[in-house]
Amino acid sequence: MADPFSILVANLNALGFFGFLLPWIFMFAVVFGLLTKAKFFEDTKITGVLSLVMAFFVVGFGGPWLASFFVNLFGYAAVIIAGILVIVLFITMSGASVGKFFDNKGVAAMLAGIGIIVFFIAMGGFSVVVSDAVIGIIFIIIVMALAVYFIAGNGKS
């Protein structure tokens, strides 16, 4: 017997929750937030209507491709965020200050690079097929590189 969560996700997918509703809400919120922050219109009703129309156009244009993009992007981002949390846990357990660690420009560049790679792969760049095994190997390599960085130090005593 299938677990209830699998049935729930399958039913939501069949209803278009992931393919239409979530991308629509996301685009509406982003456009509304940007227009409100930029203060293009005095009246928020105009901003709301414009955001509503733009969200429908974007979802109509993107369709299943847009939904697939968001599912992949946020799925990979969740894996990366979990990895970052594990790294922060290791930093804290080693007695180092997390704030000082992330002030290092090399760490910031590495995190930005990882973000760009995740974004590019989620977009389907180079038609890269990423399996769970590849994601696991990449995560292990990143953890190993960070371990070497911790052990070898950054040249400061």
* pLDDT single digits (tens) 116-155: 777 777 666 666 666 777 777 777 777 777 767 666 665 5
Res. 59 pLDDT band, cuts 50 70 90: confident
pLDDT of res. 13 = 80
pLDDT digits (tens, 9 = 90+) for 2-17: 788 888 888 888 877 8
User: Please, are residues 65 and 18 in contact by the beta-carbon 8 Å criterion?
Assistant: no
Report the number of distinct structural domains present in the chain: 1
If phi over 0 gives left and psi between -120 and 50 gives alpha, with beta otherwise, what is residue 97? beta
**Sequence-ordered list of residues with C-beta below 8 angstroms from that of 8, at least 6 positions apart, any chain:** none
Range of the domain at 136: 4-152
Rg, C-alpha atoms of the chain: 20
Residue 157 domain flag: no
pTM attached to this predicted model: 0.50
